[in-house]
Amino acid sequence: MKKVTMADVAKKANVSKSTVSQFLNKRYQYMGEETKRNIEEAIKELGYQPNFIARSLKQKRTSTIGIIVANIMHRLSTEVSRAIEDFCRSNEINTIVCNADDDPIKEKKYIEMLRAKQVDGLIIFPTGKNQELYKNMVDQQYPLVFMDRIVSDVKVDTVVVKNEEWASRGIQHLIDNGHERIAMIAPPLTISPRIERAEGYKKTLRKNGIDLNPHYFISTEIGTVKKELARLLAGDKPPTAIFAANDLAFLQVAEYVKEKAIQVPEELSIIVFDNIPFAHISTPTITTIAQPSFEMGKKAAELLLLQIEGEGTKPRIYAFDGDLIIRESSESKKA
């Protein structure tokens, strides 16, 4: 079957090839309504499909970007990716989303694959373990934005939340409600958000004259959280409140609490740093430190587009405020 070309469309619509090209690129300034209608009808009748590869070579852009999330299971990752996709779609840019599973080898392969596909830029939730690769992209002035995580010696636009400050506000809320035995449950402290939240936890305890009990600080793989909780809550002086450092840690806490029929907040208060979609309808409702994920995603997309268009400025960190949403799970202190 003969491939339909732009010349065929032009002949059918009785216009020049350059006019068809202008129509396809949405440059309608000097184009009448009848001409636009004729070209559109010719494209539909002939079944013409634009050659995007040829267009990309001519424009030196593919109008496609890559998003590499660290773990698609995190609510933040899905919400940020949706916001980026929405912004890009409104600017006629396609998106490819890849899930690195917090694996630097997988992350490296995705970076190399996406660049081989000549995407115009990348938004990455970095593992932090491919610094040479990150630096090479920066040196090449390749459009790049980091999301959620700071890689300290890589100078690139980075969009984050103020983790330490808002973790501190959450812990202070628990202290103001009379809690002193406050535990923190977190995945391994391998990335900046977890490290910063742990720092906010520790600093706030010290500021309030509360000694940091090392038994109350649990940093472990998600699969072993419930085992650590069993040990923690079986002690002589179990915590009266738990600060879950992210959504996946919280889900393990919630599952354990349900299994053991622990009453929240009467026996144990809980607060979580992350976006939990069911927090406002669970029983009890869950106190959260929410992140403005959609605003963060839009900002990352805006920054990347500016770089792609050659209008980027000196790289900086864009830190967003969180939102402490107080609900039933942190209302009262264990007697």
pLDDT of 83: 97
- pLDDT band, very low/low/confident/very high, at 5 (cuts 50, 70, 90): confident
CATH number 2.40.180.10 is the correct assignment for the domain at 6-50: no
Note the pLDDT tens digit of each residue in 103-136. Answer: 999 999 999 999 999 999 999 999 999 999 999 9
Average pLDDT, integer, range 58-64: 73
Look at 31-40, 168-177, 272-281 and tell me which has the smallest mean pLDDT: 31-40
Long-range contacts of 101-110 (CB under 8 A, 24+ apart): 101/70, 101/71, 102/70, 102/71, 102/127, 103/127, 104/128, 104/129, 104/130, 107/68, 107/70, 108/133, 110/66, 110/68
Q: What is the residue extent of each domain of the chain?
A: 6-50, 62-161+293-321, 163-291+324-330
The residue with greater pLDDT, 244 or 236, is: 244
Note the pLDDT tens digit of each residue in 63-78. Answer: 999 999 999 999 999 9
Percent of the chain with pLDDT over 90: 78
Specify the DSSP class assigned to residue 16: -
Res 50 pLDDT > 90: no
Q: What is the mean pLDDT of the chain?
A: 92
Average pLDDT, integer, range 48-74: 77
Architecture of the structural domain at 163-291+324-330 = 3-Layer(aba) Sandwich (3.40)
Under DSSP, is residue 188 helix (H, G, I), strand (E, B) or coil? Answer: coil
Evaluate whether 6-50 and 163-291+324-330 have a shared fold: no
User: Which distant-in-sequence residues (6+ apart) come within 8 Å of 301 by Cβ?
Assistant: 65, 83, 84, 87, 88, 123
pLDDT of 31: 86
The residue with greater pLDDT, 8 or 189, is: 189
The residue with greater pLDDT, 11 or 296, is: 296
Res 41 pLDDT > 50: yes
- pLDDT band, very low/low/confident/very high, at 99 (cuts 50, 70, 90): very high
- pLDDT band, very low/low/confident/very high, at 57 (cuts 50, 70, 90): very low
- What is the dihedral sign for C-alpha 138, 142, 143, 149? negative
Average pLDDT, integer, range 141-159: 96
Average pLDDT, integer, range 158-171: 98
Smallest Cα–Cα separation from 122: which of 30, 132, 240, 133? Answer: 133
Note the pLDDT tens digit of each residue in 269-289. Answer: 999 999 999 999 999 999 999
The residue with greater pLDDT, 49 or 114, is: 114
CA distances from 256 to 75, 180, 261, 288, 310 (A): 20, 22, 8, 18, 51
Unique residue bearing structure tokens 């472990």: 220
Q: Say which CATH superfamily domain 62-161+293-321 falls into.
A: Response regulator (3.40.50.2300)
Q: Cα–Cα distance between 267 and 145 in angstroms, integer?
A: 43
Res 146 pLDDT > 70: yes
Res 322 pLDDT > 90: yes
Res 17 pLDDT > 50: yes
pLDDT of 59: 55
Look at 4-18, 84-98, 188-202 and tell me which has the smallest mean pLDDT: 4-18
pTM as predicted:
0.83
